A and B are shown apart, each in its own frame.
Chain A
């Protein structure tokens, strides 16, 4: 099967039931997509498929056949997507592990909705867990990224 990852064409002939996350992490070494729960519950593995945020641990390879996947590594060529900049300006991360998934969720939200309400931000970001507890700053970073974008 064929798919695109960060604009690059890929061929895949392995197990079609393998979650996309393991393909990205183990085969392409795109380890910015994190393994957190394997069950679509924590959002650490969030990527974009055709621009929509999905949990790559529960999306299989056959699901993404013919589709276009964007990971944190492909979000911006120089790492300066407005969401990434807002994240740094607000000093959001503590341990940092969940942050790529958070950023991917936020970027998908803002691509779809330039001016989300507070409750729309919470709804979109509530798929992502942060055990360090950076939620207050995540919220304010999404808000300021929305203003910048």
Chain B
């Protein structure tokens, strides 16, 4: 098989058009000066830094210098660097849009340049935790304002007038007294020679002057390319001379190839090499699982070669992992006293003295992200330097890890970030890029693309953790909830990074357990032991999913027990508007999503507001057709408040559909309401997948699902086709918070509560599956 001449040309054109080979150096035009401001925190930034975030504490911290992010060509084209990865949330468009708005650029003349992994230069790039807008709205506003002031200053110098007489407006600077003007392209050379103004000299726009921020009119920058097939993802990368690899990985985590016979694989036409990759003992961080790789001239030959390969596996210590057995073990743990993580009042006494005790258990299995683009990465090593093309959420982290694997210095590794065909947390882990690095090295640096198939993705992921929750509530004689004891048992994702802690870490506990706002005088949150027997990863909204499922289901169960309206009772559990501060009653540090408490406290006025808004818009309490039911749930996650009302319709055979979803979100000041809406719509679909369909189960240490026929995810028409989003309007003084993840957690409990309202059947084990027809 040969690549014909035409195709070869197309490959090179395609690659260079996207600037993938050149990084950002090849953009032409004028790059504003090369000197960078010394790294500074924004702590002394006055109004530019109206509130503090955790951004400074992240690797690489914050950079806002226009010399790093903005370049202007003589024809006026403004290039803005976007340093976060794009996986569908729209941040690749939204953050440059903030810069463009503040600098008075005309969006039609803006180009976006994807930064390679370099956190020293660009600041933190770990696109995770719903942080992009939250951490970078202020720095990007500062960047835009500084650019605007530099252009005004350049015009003042050109005309020999005072800065104050010059005003930037829509891609040009106007001399107010004479009305003459100079375009940004004409001013670029002078502006480039200027020093970046200090933070406290920056004058931000008044929000009433925003042209793009908050309007929802700017479409994502890749829209045309996406709809015409030109958008490039890591699976699409072609580098001249590239080879293709697939890897046979141990079916059980920590297993290894005992022996293998490569003869049959080598006989497949196009196969050029079989390479063993050694496993890494836990805690392995993102190191590859090991296995046997087949490298070939084409993806097809590599796949055929892997099929022909004969590997005998040693399954290692996790060979007995069995989801059914594990569930029983977790239940046992959840039924006995655990480690106290937050304690208020006297739970034993309150439960002993309760007029009534209600106790329920909730289970959520493992699941896998299954982004539509399975992981893929290409690595080439030349003259002691490595170049990577990969769909990674954390290009900075990938750079460091690749450097380590190859024994290179970080500055000799370039990580080009492609578009990500979905991420959901999977692509935070760069194991696939490390495989490509190892395999390129095995060929002396020849570019190698590692392709993961869907089966690879489903069999060898970092799984959403399985969890078991045991909740006991005590009611007094007036039917008030006076006691709440909640035990959470779930293997920890920290097992990737440290000897397995065997229980949720404080980071995981902060995801909707020990930060509960419930207004109960005797409150105890505990954890039980569970050993990680596979790789545990974070999955869009992470532990918020099981925590919210248990808490919000239990609230509806209690409402039913007491004959109260579930929405009214939920508000009663949240209690009056106040700041809930668990910091003194938790036994470890309260993890507030890595952000300062004072900026983002737990504010039940906001929790209540989204509950009331979603309920009102959904027409909570209205008469519903036969077989229909409504459920409600709320969760503060990623510092954002989301409440969802789900309406279900259940037919006589137990088939459940979701005719309507109403979701209210309060994410502080918002940048792009149209993309928030799309995130909420998507969260409902992913939430419904989780609640109704998806599960990963293990037997003999192996994942039992293989592809989309047995790992079923939601398809069109299967519900959540009418999702209505209500965004709480906020001024710029209300700190922006997360959007990518917070839509997910309330969905499953709202859905299950709706199923109960429709059928009287309470589902405590997810997914729903066939439980209603059984």
Contacts and interface: CB of A to CB of B under 8 A. Distances in A.
Interface string B229-254: 11111011010000010000000000
A99 B372 CA distance: 10
Contact of B720 (A73, A84, A126, A136): A136
Contacts of A122: 716-717
A136 B322 CA distance: 37
A39 B708 contact: yes
Interface in A85-109: 87-88, 91, 93-100, 103
A103 B678 CA distance: 18
Interface in B547-601: none
Contacts, number: 197
A146 interface: no
Interface residues of A, number: 57
A19 B453 CA distance: 14
A73 B229 contact: yes
A54 interface: no
Contact of B371 (A14, A91, A95, A136): A95
Contacts of B236: 25, 31, 34
Contacts of B372: 34, 36, 42, 44, 95, 97-98, 129-132
A115 B34 CA distance: 58
A37 B1 contact: no
Interface residues of B, number: 71
A61 B231 CA distance: 25
A32 to B, nearest CB: 2
B449 to A, nearest CB: 10
B226 A36 contact: no
B229 A133 contact: no
B228 A32 contact: yes
Contacts of B454: 36-39, 41-42
Interface in A64-93: 71-73, 76, 79, 84, 87-88, 91, 93
Contacts of A59: none
B419 interface: yes
B89 A103 contact: no
Contacts of B230: 32
A133 B684 contact: yes
Interface string B691-708: 000000000000000011
Contacts of B707: 37-39, 41
Contacts of A126: 715-718
Contacts of A31: 14, 229, 232, 235-236, 238
21 contacts: A26-B298, A26-B300, A29-B7, A29-B238, A35-B451, A38-B455, A42-B372, A42-B708, A84-B227, A84-B228, A87-B227, A88-B223, A94-B678, A97-B422, A125-B716, A126-B717, A129-B715, A132-B422, A133-B683, A133-B685, A134-B681
Q: Which 10 A-B pairs have the closest CB atoms?
A: A32-B229, A133-B685, A97-B421, A95-B88, A94-B88, A122-B717, A133-B682, A96-B226, A72-B229, A31-B236
Interface of A: 14-15, 18-19, 22, 25-39, 41-42, 44, 71-73, 76, 79, 84, 87-88, 91, 93-100, 103, 119, 122, 125-126, 128-139
Given A91-B678, A96-B88, 16 more contacts: A22-B299, A36-B373, A39-B707, A84-B227, A91-B220, A91-B223, A93-B227, A94-B89, A95-B372, A95-B422, A96-B231, A99-B226, A135-B685, A135-B716, A135-B721, A136-B721
